[in-house]
Amino acid sequence: MSKPTGLLLSPGAIAPEAVSRALNEQGGPAWDNTVFRLLSGIDARSLAEGTPKGGSGTAVSLASTGWWFRPLDELADRLATTTGQAVLALLEHPGVGSAYHLAQPGDEPVRRVRLGTDRLWAEGVALLTGGQGLAEGDTAPLEQAARLVHGDDPEGAQLPGMVGFAFLPERRAEWPALLDLRGQTLQGGVLWKPAEQRDADEDPPMKMRAILLETDVRLPGPPRWARAHRAEVIETAQQVVGDDGWVCLVPQTDGEVAAFGAAVRILQLAPLPDGSLVGVLHPLAGVRIEGVADGVATVDPVPQGPVEDVEAFAAARKKLVDQLSAGSGVRWSAEELDASDDPASLIAWQVRLSTEACQSYLAAREPLARLVALAGAL
């Protein structure tokens, strides 16, 4: 899966000491490790176009284990204030979205955030340089520019890039897009805090903490991000992520606990300014719920077997692939789904199912039954 890239640009000179001072003032957690590389004497527009030339500008590439707590746009604001010149923060996550924040000393910043567009940041470069707009075809991927700036720094290459934009109270309309960008970053494997990854092959325990859902359960499939608002959910998530990470997602129908749920591993978790949490969940297995008492679910994993009717499976898979148009929002190609031994588990987590279809899926013991349950709900 693609990884996001962040970069700072300025039309004039910025001293390395100014960047260090801005980072120190910005602050970060005690475990944070942050590095930056500065390229001076560069023409910002040509760098964005992929053909860097000499000029009066500066480009800064930053990487940090505490990237979550170091908003790139806020750092641009600090540098614009201390240097007295415009500083542009750029963000691109291929296939997910793009953003820019043009900090201007003594004036309001200009910023845009958009999902589904990779090269929106080119608009910010045009504003910074005072030239004509850059068409998407006129720019190289932002990652290419960042690599030119960061060079061969071995430490920086191993750290996550600083790619977070701040959640500004006066711009709440941006929050859903910023959440999705951060969520996709976490889902793509960029850790928000140094930690050991959970073992995906470990069998779920027979008892685990439970989260009672007001909506359908997250179906087993690839890791995905989720946001928690309710106090009891936040408390449970914080408890399990500090323990073994296992939690059972239990759907309810009219207050009655459903027969089946999902055993989930919480991989990463981080707070947001409004008190909610966002993190990465890995829904690993369907489970039969034997009972829930005192916030703990007793479960019995549903064994998953091989395909028993190969021809019926192939026909059901073809039907599913045919149903998914190019604009379905499913992040798997028809070729990948057609080659998979269990395409339902690849995409079910992206499709909202009715409680009935969800329960049928979780109860299924082999890929054909899951595929039929999914295709019937689309």
pLDDT tens-digit series, residues 249-273: 999 878 889 999 999 999 988 888 8
Distances (CA, A) of 283 to 79, 219, 347: 42, 6, 12
Other Cβ atoms within 10 Å of 194 Cβ, number? 11
pLDDT at 47: 92
Percent above pLDDT 70 for the chain: 97
Residues whose CB falls within 8 Å of the CB of residue 86, separated by 6 or more in sequence, listed in order: 10, 11, 80, 102, 103, 104, 105, 128
Residue given tokens 């057609």 in the structure block? 338
Q: Is the pLDDT of residue 25 over 90?
A: yes
Task: List the structure tokens of 71.
Answer: 């908003």
Of 46, 47, 65, 60, the residue nearest 7 (C-alpha): 60
What is the strand order of the sheet 5-10 is part of? Answer: 34-42, 54-64, 5-10, 87-93, 97-104, 107-115
Q: Is the pLDDT of residue 304 over 90?
A: no
pLDDT tens-digit series, residues 133-185: 676 567 788 999 998 998 777 777 788 999 999 999 899 999 999 999 998 88
Q: Is the pLDDT of residue 328 over 70?
A: no
Other Cβ atoms within 10 Å of 205 Cβ, number? 13
Q: Is the pLDDT of residue 335 over 90?
A: no
Positive or negative torsion for Cα 319, 323, 325, 330: negative
What backbone torsions phi and psi does residue 69 show, to the nearest 5 degrees?
A: -95, 5
Q: Is the pLDDT of residue 223 over 90?
A: no
pLDDT at 329: 66
Task: List the structure tokens of 292.
Answer: 């829930």
* CA gap 40, 368 in Å, rounded: 58
* CA gap 69, 100 in Å, rounded: 18
* CA gap 366, 304 in Å, rounded: 5
Distances (CA, A) of 1 to 198, 284, 317: 18, 19, 24
Q: Is the pLDDT of residue 90 over 90?
A: yes
pLDDT at 325: 65
Q: What is the largest CA-CA distance in the chain?
A: 70
Q: Which helix (H) or strand (E) holds 303?
A: none
Least confident segment among 101-105, 291-295, 349-353: 349-353
Average pLDDT over residues 85-110: 95
**DSSP E strand boundaries for the chain:** 5-10, 34-42, 54-64, 87-93, 97-104, 107-115, 207-213, 224-228, 246-253, 256-257, 260-271, 277-293, 296-301
Least confident segment among 201-215, 242-256, 323-337, 351-365: 323-337
Mean pLDDT, the chain, integer? 90
Distances (CA, A) of 87 to 29, 80, 121, 156: 25, 6, 13, 22
Specify the 3-state DSSP secondary structure of 196. Answer: coil
